[in-house]
Amino acid sequence: MKVWGAHGEFCARHQWEVIVATLALLACAASVERHGPGNRSEHCAGWARACPGLEAEYQAADAVIMTFVRCAALLYAYYQVLNLHKIASKYLLIIAGVFSTFASFIFTSALASLFWSELASIKDAPFLFLLVADVARGARMAKAGWSAGEDQGKRVGRALSLLGPTATLDTLLAILLVGVGALSGVPRLEHMCTFACLALLVDYIVFITFYPACLSLVADFATNRKEIAHDSPFSEEDLKPNPVVQRVKMIMAAGLLCVHLTSRWPWSANHGIIEGPIDASIPVPHDNILLHSYVKWFSVSADYIVIATLLCALIIKFIFFEEQRNWVYDMDDMTVKEVINDTDLSRKPKFSVGDDSNSEVSTQTDEAGNVEDMEWPTLSPSSSASKLNAKKRPMVECLELYRSGACTSLSDEEVIMLVEQSHIPMHRLEAVLEDPLRGVRLRRRVIASRFNNETAIKQLPYLNYDYSKVLNACCENVIGYIGVPVGYAGPLVVDGKPYMIPMATTEGALVASTNRGAKAIGSRGVTSVVEDVGMTRAPAVKLPNVVRAHECRQWIDNKENYALLKEAFDSTSRFARLQEIHVGVDGATLYLRFRATTGDAMGMNMVSKGAENALKLLKTFFRDMEVISLSGNYCSDKKAAAINWIKGRGKRVVCETVISSENLRTIFKTDAKTLSRCNKIKNLSGSALAGSIGGNNAHAANMVTAIFIATGQDPAQNVTSSNCSTNMEAYGENGEDLYVTCTMPSLEVGTVGGGTVLTGQGACLEILGVKGAGTRPAENSARLASLICATVLAGELSLMAALVNSDLVKSHMRHNRSTLNVQTANVEPYTVALKVPPS
């Protein structure tokens, strides 16, 4: 691989030397005249003249057959051109065709006329070359060599290092395979196969020398003129060969090599030796052989008229009548989709995949902000998927296939039939079909038909999503996904390090407001303190009477007994470690609030599993104890509860910062006394008057929820996690700076498990540098908690400043008003005006 890479880079960096040297060799080969004696009296006259034995055999039937072969070669070449449209642009196609096919053919013709003058007439050579030349290989090389972001020479060298070994094996196998025709004993077929082998060899040499140099040169010119446009991103995986296919090719090459050795080896001593003196009297033509060959190409005959007509028709069709197509390769359902710009239907782009019943419609937004539909029409009738779905087998046969575990061989219609008859549960489609995407697609069809909401279902996107990470982890009965915009606020400096905070939200002005707060904080940054309180779960247990309940409580409070429960709890996980059992009493019912640290996971499942095991041990000592519920709401999870506000849950975080008087004046257009006064009246007194629990803040839930959605946290836990107390006071010698703190005692976050396994959410965690487990337990989850609290602080500052300046309505009118909604409202501005009920 390194040798190929170095060779390709050498050719790309020494473009002119390689090109000039190759063209010089071509000129020499084309201009050499064959002088010297022949060794046989029946010597043929070269490309310009036919061999005596062969010309007699070229009768009318032969002409018809060869005309058919030539037409087939042209059609095959046209088919290759159309296929290349899927992997390369027209510009790449032209470069690959001209420099690979044409150059290789010229070199082949020159060498053949120089060394093998006894070959048959050259008029069949172009068509034979069309059948053996690999144009697609040149297009892949061009696409790889023109990928941006790296030195051109290194890029070409890397592309050749990937394509070179495969091209070598393919060429060797093709030469050995075509060379079998030279053993047939049919003179014309032998000569044609000889030319084909020579063409393959020359095409290979051109591909690894002349073509990389030309490619690099043209790329340099095009880059200077900014003409190169990539239709799709290049991946090195596209060039890596299949190891199984390569192994099969090597075995075939070895077998064909044995055939050639046994057929051509000189077993006798005199085999292949020409005896007798060389006859010097045989005339040798002194004219240029290659020139005569090209002149003979244009001799008019019936077969040439047919070929010329077909060639002109294909060229005209390709230039004027072939639709311009944009191909998209979808990695989810492994199909090539065609984007068709239809100007007759309001210029709505359509994507072509699937069968009739699988057509999907999604939406996209153009540059002007207009929403456009994207339809997914049908596959062609000749496709394998359409043929498979065209024949529905009987129910008995389909049911037998399903029960035998061969459900993957069932067509879409057959699977839907089994679902409708309740043989296949709807929620198990992905597992049964062993294809998550197909399961989602078929569930959408069933739901659309069953509830008559096909239009709505089609507007819900489902392609380009990794459902394998969703199954048994995040969601059931999946029919698609919802895209939520993700913005960033920052840089926000937290504990001396700047962060870009991803926020997923549909509330306009939220990200902009938080970003303004981060700007006001500036390089001074936010200082944070994090305490890993631990996750909680509080089962409710009931005993026969209050006496037994009191005895049970005293037993749990005993240190030795607590150690037994802790051992049982900790044995269920490598990370969960019990910290406390806080007992609440209501008559004969006890609420055992287990609190445990859970590493970098949010930990609800860990604590539930550990609490369940501890209850089994406790029941061995109190056999009259009845477990009412694994969760008795004393935890308390996803509900506003004073116990979380007081005792904490998850992570307890406190952040502080100081905003300078200059930033208050220039960014917030206010001062420290005004903000601290507003905070006291709004966040403290107002929340107390409302009886709020943990609500001593302006809008902490906004930032918490936005980061939760972006990073794969449980959005419902924003109820507890948004508990926050915001405090502001004048600071400094003159009291003109502002000291701000945010205290959040119950932030429930994790960086492993749950929604963090999804691709997009994992990417947001990676942006923050907290994806996965840290080197120390709870390291990454604690950092995520501190970043959330710091972001809340930035958002609190910005909103409070907007409130004291009466900027809130103004900013929301600018950032949180949909243009589409405003335009719709302007059509009938007073549709919902005052309606006075009848008296």
What's phi and psi for 365, nearest 5 deg?
-115, 130
For residue 469, the tally of other CB atoms under 10 A from its CB is 16
- DSSP character string of 335-392: EEEEEEEETTTTTEEEEE-S-GGG--EEEEE-TTS-EEEEE--PPPTTSHHHHHHH-P
Residues of the chain with pLDDT under 50: 33-58, 87-88, 119-122, 148-149, 225-234, 267-286, 290, 294, 297-300, 324, 326-390, 822-839
pLDDT, residue 525, reads 96
From 657, 651, 609, select the one nearest 631 (Cα to Cα). Answer: 609
pLDDT, residue 809, reads 64
Domain topology for 1-31+58-227+234-260: Multidrug efflux transporter AcrB transmembrane fold (1.20.1640)
Please say whether the beta carbons of 51 and 44 come within 8 A.
yes
pLDDT, residue 72, reads 72
pLDDT, residue 208, reads 75
Alpha carbon 265 to chain centroid distance?
54
pLDDT in tens, 368-384: 444 444 444 443 433 44
For residue 233, give both structure tokens. Answer: 């991103």
Type and span of the H or E element at 142:
helix 135-145
The residue whose two tokens read 């010119």 is 221
pLDDT, residue 588, reads 96
What's phi and psi for 140, nearest 5 deg?
-65, -40
Please say whether the beta carbons of 583 and 757 come within 8 A.
no
pLDDT in tens, 779-836: 999 999 999 999 999 999 999 999 998 766 666 566 666 555 544 444 444 444 444 4
639 is annotated as an active-site residue? no
- CA 457, 463, 466, 467 torsion: positive or negative? positive
- DSSP character string of 396-438: HHHHHHHHTT-GGGS-HHHHHHHHHTTSS-GGGHHHHHT-HHH
For residue 535, the tally of other CB atoms under 10 A from its CB is 28
Annotate 168-191 with three-state secondary structure.
HHHHHHHHHHHHHHHHCCCHHHHH
CA distance 177 to 196: 11
CA distance 363 to 788: 33
Q: What is the DSSP letter of 234?
A: -
Q: What is the DSSP letter of 816?
A: S
pLDDT in tens, 321-376: 555 454 444 444 444 444 444 444 444 444 444 333 444 444 444 444 444 444 44
CATH of 539-629, one of 3.50.50.60, 3.30.70.420, 2.30.250.10, 2.60.40.60: 3.30.70.420
249 is annotated as an active-site residue? no
Catalytic residue among 124, 332, 373, 507: 507
Catalytic residue among 330, 466, 580, 714: 714
pLDDT, residue 11, reads 73
Give, in degrees to the nearest 5, the angle at Cα 101 between 107 and 131.
105
Please say whether the structural domain 486-533+641-818 has been given the CATH code 3.40.190.170.
no
The residue whose two tokens read 């009477």 is 545
pLDDT, residue 169, reads 79
The residue whose two tokens read 């070199």 is 107
pLDDT, residue 333, reads 43
Please say whether the beta carbons of 388 and 380 come within 8 A.
no
pLDDT, residue 194, reads 75
For residue 706, give both structure tokens. Answer: 């936005």
SS3 105: helix
638 is annotated as an active-site residue? yes
Please say whether the beta carbons of 670 and 804 come within 8 A.
yes
812 is annotated as an active-site residue? yes
The residue whose two tokens read 């004291």 is 804
Helical segments of 638-776, H only: 642-647, 661-666, 672-679, 687-689, 700-711, 718-721, 759-768
Domain residue ranges in the chain: 1-31+58-227+234-260, 395-459, 486-533+641-818, 539-629
Catalytic residue among 423, 638, 682, 815: 638
For residue 102, the tally of other CB atoms under 10 A from its CB is 12
Catalytic residue among 7, 423, 812, 815: 812
pLDDT, residue 381, reads 39
What dihedral do alpha carbons 614, 616, 622, 624 form, nearest 10°? 140
Type and span of the H or E element at 65:
helix 60-84
CA distance 426 to 447: 10
pLDDT, residue 576, reads 95
